[in-house]
Amino acid sequence: MKFPFKVKIEKRIEDLPKWMPLVTSLGAVLIAFIISGIVLYLIGSNPIRVFKYFFSAAFGSWGAFSDILVKATPLILIGLGCCLAFKMKIISIGAEGQFFMGAFFASLVVLVPLVPLDSPKVLVLSLMAVMGIIGGALYGLIPGLLKAYFNVNVIITTLMLNYVAVYWNNYWIFGKYSDLGFQMTPTFDKVAWLPRLADMAKEIPFFSGITLHLGVVFGLIAAVLIWLILKYSRWGYEITLIGDNPKAAEYAGINIKRNIILVMVVSGALAGLAGMSEVTGVVHRLQEEISSNYGFSGLIVAWLAKLNPFAVIPVAILFGGLIVAGREIQPSGLSFLIQGMILFLVISSDVLLRYKIRVTRREEEVV
């Protein structure tokens, strides 16, 4: 006796309902948590209690939520840069390096110093933002030029340049700018600190201890800009066309080399700004540990957001939550487990968008 149902996978021919990608992505996140729960159960803990603690550690208080937004800020900026590059099918994984270069260039403003430290805060911070953007952009320019003129594989160059950036940073913080021989610079003068909500605690007591800084506003503005670019601009159209069929784009008279360079520069600039926001908003010095793998998590964020600039924000917050909660629980690998599961399942769930699964009764098959 045969199993009475048959499962058949068929290619989707009709257009996809608009809600479908959202539902499958959310479903994938849910399943990731369920699988992680099973793993937790197998190692002998109570998954319900762990998740309860996990969520309260992440979303339980305004303070914790602000921590999440702080973690989400660089993820948003980097994720947006990746959206742009991925839309053109340039697989740049250099955000980590561009982040470090942005942080380094921004720090130069106070370390050299490029302006007297008694200048107005607005001037110092603006200059640092510009320097951060320049640092990241230059670091994106290198693989961009190599790709455009010599067709060098971007994955390789950006990956390698990440290491260069980290060691470049180390050279300076161990050497010339070291604080008493520790692998960090001295704390920046307060003039180079991005304003935090906690700064307003005197007027509004509710904000006391809230670490959220101005960087998150950079992220939100960038999201709107990238959305406008991709959805409405001529440049966005060129990027989309190149991403779908570079030969057709060339045939349409689009300058592909210029676009490769531009996209790499802009995505680098966003990562650089993230680096600036991190050193001025969170750590207030240049040090070895400024990135919790933001460059790589940002890449995942862009992917999970299906390259939609607005979807980047909630996804970055989810990942921020995983980072914050990961600090609180043992084994701390749990948050990496969940991150990995989410990425894996969301990418797998794409199958549901391209194919449909039909369950039919066996009897129907018989004519």
Partner 1 sequence: MTMTNDDYPFAVEMRDIVLRFPGVLANDHVNLNLNKGEIHALLGENGAGKSTLMNILSGLYRPESGEIKVNGSSVHFNSPKDAIASGIGMVHQHFMLVPTLTVTENILLGLNEPRFFMKLTKYDKKILALQEEFGLKVDPAAKIWQLSVGEQQRVEILKTLYRGADILILDEPTAVLAPQEIEELMGTMRTLVEQGKSIIFISHKLNEVKAVADRLTVLRKGRVTAEGIDPTGLSRGDLAELMVGREVIFQIEKEAQQPGGVVLEVENLSTINNRGMNAVNGVSFSIRQGEIFGIAGIAGNGQSELVEAITGLRASTGSIRINDTEVGNCPPRKSIHCGMAHIPEDRMGVGTAPNLSVTKNVIMKNYDQSPISKGWRINYLEAHSHAVDLKEGYDIQAPSVETQARKLSGGNLQKLILAREISGKPQLIVAMQPTRGLDVGAIESIQKLLLEQRRNGAAILLLSEELDELLELSDRVAVIFDGELVSQMDSREANLNTIGMMMTGSLRSGE
Task: Give the interface with partner 1 as residue ranges (CB under 8 A).
Answer: 13-15, 228, 232-235, 237, 240-241, 244-245, 247-255, 365, 367
- Alpha-carbon distance of 153 to 138, in angstroms, equals 18
Vertex 327 angle, CA 345 and 58, to 5°: 70
CB of 16 to partner 1, least distance (A): 10
Looking from the CA of 38 toward its CB, the CA atoms found within 13 Å total 6
Q: Which is nearer to partner 1, 22 or 248 (CB)?
A: 248
In contact, 66 and 211? CB cutoff 8 Å: yes
Q: Letter for the amino acid at 231?
A: K
- Neighbour count for residue 290 (Cβ, 10 Å): 22
CB of 11 to partner 1, least distance (A): 10
Q: Which is nearer to partner 1, 44 or 253 (CB)?
A: 253
> What CA–CA distances, in Å, run from 274 to 107, 119, 205, 271?
13, 23, 29, 5
CB of 218 to partner 1, least distance (A): 21
User: Please, which residues have CB within 8 angstroms of residue 250's CB and are 6 or more apart in sequence?
Assistant: 256
Q: Which is nearer to partner 1, 202 or 247 (CB)?
A: 247
CB of 21 to partner 1, least distance (A): 14
Q: Which is nearer to partner 1, 15 or 289 (CB)?
A: 15
Looking from the CA of 28 toward its CB, the CA atoms found within 13 Å total 24
Q: Which is nearer to partner 1, 72 or 229 (CB)?
A: 229
- Alpha-carbon distance of 219 to 143, in angstroms, equals 24
CB of 356 to partner 1, least distance (A): 10
